[in-house]
Amino acid sequence: MKVLAINAGSSSLKFQMYEMPEEKELISGLFERIGIKDSCYSIKVNGQKIKKEVVLSNHEDAVKYLIEELLNNNIVSSLDEIEAIGHRVVHGGDKYAETVVITDEVLKDIESFYPLAPLHNPANVLGIKAFQKSVPNAVVVGVFDTAFHQTMEEKDFLYGVPYEWYTDYKVRKYGFHGTSHKFLTNRMKEILNKEDYKIITCHLGNGGSISAIRNGKCVDTSMGFTPNAGILMGTRSGDIDFTIIPYVMEQTGKSLDEVINDLNKKSGFLGVCGISSDSRDVEDGMNQNDPRCILTHKMFVKSVVNYIANYYVALGEVDAICFSAGIGENSVVVRKDILESLSALGIEVDEDLNNVRGKEAVITSASSKVPCYVIPTDEEVMIARDAYNLAK
């Protein structure tokens, strides 16, 4: 069965097509600057990368070119060969705890969650509708970023605010990166080879989140009502005292929207180091003894360590900790400093084993009380798996 995995952003559309259940990647690509000047797309097929500059006025244009590439590269001879399309949907509220086939009712629900994810859900809907129009016979599936975390208990997802904020306005912790955390959980279950297990999954990228998992179910996670909560990130502040917001508004004359924009797009690594939101640039600055880059690194490590330690206590004990995503998979120094900071838990990093990038590996010594792993995540294949299983 040929299955498309789609991740639509407000001005982008990322895709991969698989032959399932073999999980063989047939083609992948990214459409960029949709609705913006200088739009283009790139594809990878048969080991070759191709980039083309085209006019992409909307998501339907992107889907049109995507279909042309599928046909021209003989990935499919007919659109009827595409039996399922899995769409990443950022927010499913507290209604969707698993992947579902997208019906008119589900689409209305996704639209009703716009206030919870104003930048992401509208873009996800644009992608869904564009494919429904162009590939009408495929089973369309919604894979929600928030779904995996819906197993949290009230004591873990509620805030200490008036209870009516939750019942009337849905104010609660939702968590994100759920597709990645689910992939990591499934892989760690295979590695540990047991049904009863407790793990901590660390998705560390430009956006980052950490989850506590017991027997395949999320107990707690670091992101909250929005993806801005939790650890320090590329441009996001992570956890702060909320009273900072009115104080900064008063001191600077900035509006609420301007301060929120600062917390989302000008904080985190970028805000502290003042150079870049990219962890690689921060590491370069550290190597040049830039004091603010060194400070950024220390703050990031501390924020991750705090959550891991918290979740270790919450779980009682931990069978494994895994690191994934751009920083987690590739930054040797970040992993080293995190694990050395967790030595009180009996964790011992092996510097030779830890000298790995982008590959699955154990990175702790044989005597480490908790084994720690690098596990490359694959959200697209997770989307394809869910779409395939429902389409069957």
Specify the amino acid at residue 390. L
CA distances from 261 to 181, 265, 316 (A): 27, 6, 38
For 365, the token pair is: 């010594």
Which 8-state DSSP code applies to residue 139?
E
Residue 334, Cβ neighbours under 10 Å: how many?
20
For 70, the token pair is: 């599928």
Q: Which residue has the tokens 């129009």?
A: 133
Using CA atoms in the order 238, 243, 248, 253, what is the torsion angle rounded to 10 degrees? 130
φ/ψ (deg, to 5) at 9: -105, 180
Which 8-state DSSP code applies to residue 349?
B
Residues catalogued as catalytic: 145
Which 8-state DSSP code applies to residue 109?
H
Residue 199: closest CA among 329, 88, 324, 300 = 324
For 157, the token pair is: 């997802």
Parallel/antiparallel/unpaired status of strands 82-89 and 139-144 = parallel
Measured distance CA(173)–CA(118) in Å, rounded: 17
For 10, the token pair is: 């407000």
CA distances from 100 to 92, 95, 103, 147, 386 (A): 11, 11, 9, 10, 9
CA distances from 344 to 312, 335, 349 (A): 12, 16, 12
Contact status, residue 66 vs residue 109, Cβ threshold 8 Å: no
Q: Which residue has the tokens 């779409």?
A: 387
Parallel/antiparallel/unpaired status of strands 208-214 and 2-8 = unpaired
Specify the amino acid at residue 46. N
Say which residues have a Cβ less than 8 Å from residue 104's Cβ, sequence separation at least 6.
Answer: none
Contact status, residue 45 vs residue 52, Cβ threshold 8 Å: no
